[in-house]
A = this chain, B = another copy of it.
Amino acid sequence: MSKIIRQKIAVTYDFPVAFTRNALAPDNETLAGIFPPGASGPHRLAVAVDSGVVGAFPGLMRDIEAYFTRHPVARLAAPVLTVPGGERCKADLSAYQAVLDLIFEARLCRQSYLLVVGGGAVLDAAGFAAATAHRGVRLIRMPSTALGQNDAGVGVKNAVNYFGRKNFLGSFAPPFAVVNDFALLDGLPENERRAGLAEAVKIALIKDKVFFDELFAHRAALNAFEQAPFERSIERCAELHLEHIATGGDPFEFGSSRPLDFGHWSAHAMEEATSGALGHGCAVAVGVALDSVYSRLAGLLPEADLTRILAILPDLGFAPWHPALETLDMEASIESFREHLGGRLFLSMLTGIGSRVEINDVDFGLMRRAAAMLRERFS
């Protein structure tokens, strides 16, 4: 009665993620090296910069112009655009549209470049514009936050909020390149640098015991943001993130399992409940603590491992408990997380440091006991 053709398509991406310091210094070839030789002169380039980065580095705009004068692999096809930094730039479509305007005015084509220097929110909004203008212009991300460099900025997603819902609109769109410039992190307030450590602990817990041991051994130095161990933590966390996307079998998240979201169901809910007063890093630390205790109570995680987890968090400056945990509607938060993933609930729980298992049902009695244990010990 009907004929069916099965269409199979494979799309491959291959992009560099560079780690450097002072990427815009005249002699640093890293950024210039990303542009392939142009067939007919310099490539067209537009640049969008986070207002927060401009505030911290007032010479940045001049450095960008000077860099591409010195390295004429690409030429600025429009003045550098400043995008208001922070979550507000994702709250409506204005930043998205401003970057579309930039792309249009610079007459970028699918083989031209948009360089974005900024925090996660600016990368998200500008990245969505880059992904949808001409069905995708080439995006070079230069993340300016610890979380950007070790997590969101090396990933394959972008988004803006819509209908008041976080990340309602967006796409999966691997960048053309990522340049992580450690010098940009020097301009950050301490709490934003610390946020990177929460993601490092999280990914070590689900993926890599050796990395956790390293973080544990250097926790005092990390808490003081000593340069070498801090940069190493950024780099290794980014590497594990990249590895997960490349080898996890589901880079564009067609399924429901998302191990990288370990500890995030309650973190997201607490961030929302506190209207962002509890920052992402601090919320993730509480979420990681909660699901670690749950893993222990469920008989999955050895006591000795839990002890180390509940030791490293405070030593890195994180409170493993927060009042928002008291008022958390756990059932609704889990359901909202499931809806966000789509399909069936998958939650990662720990079976050891560096190893995990996925569960499909939550024992809410146990989860409340986990929260109570944290309050008792850390409130």
Q: Mark A residues whose CB is within 8 Å of B.
A: 1-21, 28-30, 39-40, 100, 104, 107, 109-112, 131-136, 154, 156-157, 159, 162-163, 165, 167-174, 235, 238-239, 242, 245-246, 251-254, 256, 339-344
Contacts and interface: CB of A to CB of B under 8 A. Distances in A.
Contacts of A242: 5, 7
Contacts of A344: 39-40
Nearest to A128: B132
Nearest to A360: B39
A172 B134 contact: no
Contacts of A29: 1
A18 B3 CA distance: 6
17 contacts: A4-B17, A4-B19, A4-B30, A5-B238, A6-B15, A8-B13, A9-B12, A100-B169, A104-B163, A107-B339, A110-B253, A110-B254, A112-B342, A133-B168, A133-B169, A136-B171, A136-B172
Contact of A7 (B5, B16, B162): B16
A169 B245 contact: no
Contacts of A133: 168-169
Nearest to A112: B342
A3 B171 contact: no
Question: Which among A7, A171, A254 has the greatest number of chain B C-beta atoms within 10 A?
Answer: A7
Contact of A341 (B19, B20, B110, B170): B110
A10 B162 CA distance: 29
Contacts of A134: 168, 170, 340, 342
Contacts of A171: 131-132, 135-136, 171, 173
Given A111-B342, A171-B131, A14 B4 contact: no
A16 B40 contact: no
A343 B256 contact: no
A4 B16 contact: yes
Given A112-B342, A132-B169, A154 B9 contact: no
A245 B7 CA distance: 9
Given A1-B20, A30-B2, A339 B109 contact: yes
Nearest to A175: B7
B6 A16 contact: yes
Contacts of A20: 1-3
B111 A343 contact: yes
